[in-house]
Amino acid sequence: MCGIVGIRLHSGDLMHRLGELVAPMLEVLASRGPDSTGLAIYSHDLTGEPVGSLRYSVWAPTPYYDWDAFGQRLRTELGVSVTAYPWGRDAVLVAGGVPDVVLAALGRIDPSVRVFGWGTAIALLKDVGPASDVCERYGVRAMSGYQAIGHTRMATESAVTVEHSHPFAVASDLALVHNGSFSNYASVRRDLVGDGVRFDTDNDSEVAARFVAARLGEGADLRDALRGAMKAFDGFFTLLVATADSMAIVRDSFACKPMVVAETSDYVAVASEYVALAHLPGIEKADVFEPMPEEVYMWTS
Amino acid sequence: MDLVTEVELSCASLSVRELNAALRELPAGTLVHIRDPGGNHNLAVALARHLEITIDGNAGYFVGGLCDGPDVTVEGFVGWSVGENLMSGSVRVRGNASECAGASAHGGLIVIEGDASSRAGISLKGGTIAVAGDVGHMSGFMAQAGTILVGGDAGGAVGDSLYEAVIYVGGHVTSLGSDAKVEELTAADVDRVRQLVESAGFSHVSPEDVTKVVSAKSLYHFDALKDQKY
């Protein structure tokens, strides 16, 4: 099964309430995916650092790892400013310097550390356990921002671990969540590996994330990248993808993995089931519909 | 003299199971308002007497499914399989519907005032479905008996593997499914569509101006010697 949710705010009024809007969306869809939960939340001023600062959502196998000491080592090694902000059992590091250099250094300092997402807008959490526990652990309700996509997982094709959870955020400010199954992901993965793409897990959804990232890297816009994914992947899927300035969905040609869209003048919200949207303000006046198969729906500022 | 009573039930205070149990206790003819539907699944299902039920907002999957008698109106959107396996009575949706509207309905009338998504009327078994707007791909798939009226456009592969059900499309037919064909309208068809347009309350469909899709019957019977492959 799996549940996917997303919301993109058009109005500034709701931005300080993003967390309290999105947490119940995930919690309701825990019925579709109770084993793991993840959320990518987009905000320009998450940590109070200047807008445009690069941040890295980091995770270590040991909960409540000593991120200050880790940040200190990163600072010493690269000679850039680093600040660690604890978040749930993990942390967000704000660091100067070039992402590729910082990402390489993070792995050198402690190979067990994982970066679940990075960019100037994204903060990304994933954890095993039902949405209510995870939202509580990371204080999701208190968070603000302008966009979020999330996932509740019922694993069908790879292990239940934090690393196998969604969203997959494999390029700057790019996050992908997936409900469904790909039947040819090994072939797509082989092609990507042949092109030099590296993978963190054996998860099928990571292949979709890497595919979209590769197309964006080649200069495609998000709409074309998702059209490409729709053609390249065989199976039953609904994909929800976010970048710093857009949110988009695409469904395969059978369209048997559900998705509901609700649009108001204040926001666009999407979810596997409407029941996850029922608490949103003004939803009774929203335009609510099911998106068509094979069509990319994209919302951009 | 029968007394018509009016009842208000709320999903804010009742679970779906409690709500359906409460509906089953009501005497025939009762007017029921279901408040705060909150997108719940399985609202007003398996009710076997006539009730006038209004659901006060957007609802989830299987609304009005398995019913044999009530008239259900949803003041909003519904999820998958509205009126699934309906026996008699009606379900009217003021908004859009997700996939499989009226799946396997044996009788009764399902009206969607907005658009319906893919596979509307899949495996229809005698019920009637009227959609004011468009329907998605594979609508009427394997429909065995009954009538589907589409006021707007029909998505790809409409009427795939049809049996005896008939599909009328007011707008554009994107493509016909396997073993579906377009047939000339008869006077009886026009009468049937006129009746249906009246009961659905559609003013935008001209009964003389719809495309009739029926089974071409080339797949109707299994042919063991087909292509000599068996």
Average model confidence (pLDDT) across chain A: 96
Task: Identify the CATH assignment for A3-38+150-300 out of 3.60.20.10, 1.20.1250.10, 3.40.50.300, 2.102.10.10.
Answer: 3.60.20.10
Nearest by CB to A274, from B39, B136, B155: name it: B39
State ipTM.
0.92
Subunit contact B137:A255, Cβ cutoff 8 A: yes
Under 8 Å CB pairs connecting chains A and B tally to: 59
According to the model, what pLDDT value does residue B209 have? 97
A1 at B interface, C-beta within 8 A: no
The answer to whether B55 and B32 are in contact (CB under 8 A) is no
The residues, ordered by sequence, that sit 6+ positions from A206 with a Cβ below 8 Å of its Cβ are A168, A170, A199, A200
Beta-carbon count within 10 A of A121 CB: 24
How many angstroms separate the CA atoms of B219 and A158, rounded? 40
Residues of B in contact with A258 (CB under 8 A): 79-80, 98-99
How many angstroms separate the CA atoms of A203 and A190, rounded? 13
β-strand partners of A42: A122, A147
Domain boundaries, chain B: 96-220
- Model pLDDT for residues A147-171, shown as the tens digit of each residue: 999 999 999 888 999 999 999 999 9
Subunit contact B39:A293, Cβ cutoff 8 A: no
Residues of B in contact with A279 (CB under 8 A): 38
- Model pLDDT for residues B132-174, shown as the tens digit of each residue: 999 999 999 999 999 999 999 999 999 999 999 999 999 999 9
Helices (DSSP H) in chain B: which residue ranges? 16-25, 187-200
Subunit contact A277:B118, Cβ cutoff 8 A: no
Catalytic residue list contains A2 = yes
Q: Of B222 and B97, which is predicted with more confidence?
A: B97
Subunit contact B41:A258, Cβ cutoff 8 A: no
pTM: 0.95
What's the gap between Cα B164 and its chain centre? 16
Subunit contact B61:A288, Cβ cutoff 8 A: no
Backbone torsions φ then ψ of A251, nearest 5 degrees: -120, 150
Residue of B nearest to A290 (CA): B98
How many angstroms separate the CA atoms of B8 and B37, rounded? 12
Residue of A nearest to B78 (CA): A274
Average model confidence (pLDDT) across chain B: 96
Residue type, B95: G
Residue with tokens 């999407």: A270
Going by their DSSP bridges, the two strands B31-35 and B52-55 should be labelled as: parallel
Subunit contact A273:B60, Cβ cutoff 8 A: yes
| DSSP H/E element including B181 | strand B180-183
Q: Exposure of B210 by Cβ count < 10 A (0-12 exposed, 13-18 middle, 19+ buried)? A: buried
Label each residue of A111-172 as H, E or C: CCCEEEEEECCEEEEEEECCHHHHHHHCCHHHCCCCEEEEEEECCCCCCCCCCCCCCEEEEC
Q: Of A138 and B222, which is predicted with more confidence?
A: A138
Choose the mutation target among B11, B98, B113, B134 for the interface with A, i.e. most A CBs under 10 Å: B98
β-strand partners of B158: B176
Domain boundaries, chain A: 3-38+150-300
Residues of A in contact with B98 (CB under 8 A): 258, 260, 290
The answer to whether A255 and A53 are in contact (CB under 8 A) is no
